[in-house]
Every structure is written in C-alpha cells, then in structure tokens.
Amino acid sequence: MSTLTTNGIKISVFPVYHKEHSDPAKFKYIFSYQIKIENTSSRTVQLLRRHWFIFDSNGSYREVEGDGVVGKQPILEPGESYEYTSWCPLITPVGRMHGSYLMEETAGQRQFDVKIPEFHLIIPALFN
C-alpha cells in the first residue's frame, strides 16, 4: 500500500496482480489497483480529472488523462471518502505508476492538484 496526503486529501493505493488474466508468453501482465480518496480537510471538494504516468520496467511509459475516475466525478464532504478499482496492463512483470487528481472546492471554485503516490506493480513470483 502507498499513501500520500496533499492539500488535505489523503490518497491510498492497493495494487493487485491478476495471474488469471495475464499471459506472460505474450508480454501481458494485468494489475488492478484500488484507490481510497479521503477528504481530511474542512472543505467540500469534487474530483474533476485524473492524470496517470505508467512505467514498464523496460523504460517505456505512457500517460493517461481524462475526466473523473471510472466515469464519476465524486463530491466529498469533510470526513467522507470514496473508493474505486481500476486496472492497468503492463508489457513487463514489473512497473510503477503515479499521478494526480484535479480537485475543485465546491465553494469558491478554487482548483488544486492532489498527488497520487507512486506505487509498484510487481508479479508475486519475483518475491520468491
């Protein structure tokens, strides 16, 4: 698990390897990751956009940007949290991801970035 708090928004990430959907012979490694977003601030915020940097261990990387997360732009009151699960394919058995969310205060319309902590995507067999 990786956790980071930026501007009163705490992001926790829990990655999982999915052997049943992967095919190493075809350089296909499938990972999911669960994200928990906690509003520890005193203001109401809305998640507007995401921006991911995804790295394979061979040096290649890609960026993914878009509105919201899994089709939603959740609003979080102080003390509330939101969780979602998404997935990522890699072409190597090891990789990493990090990124940011664009958030907006619902009162005042002030926008700010929240960092998503870097986390590693590693197949369990490499730990043996």
pLDDT digits (tens, 9 = 90+) for 15-49: 999 999 999 999 999 999 999 999 999 999 999 99
Thinking of the domain 2-127, which architecture would CATH place it in? Sandwich (2.60)
> Do residues 80 and 74 lie in contact, with contact meaning Cβ atoms separated by under 8 Å?
no
pLDDT of 76 over the 60 cut: yes
Instruction: Identify the pLDDT of residue 108.
Output: 81
Question: What percentage of the chain carries pLDDT values higher than 70?
Answer: 98
Q: How far apart are CA 2 and CA 12, in angstroms?
A: 6
Report the chain's mean pLDDT, rounded to a whole number: 96
Q: What is the DSSP letter of 25?
A: G
Mean pLDDT of 65-91: 97
CA atoms within 13 A on the CB side of 111: 6
Are the C-beta atoms of 76 and 83 separated by less than 8 Å?
no
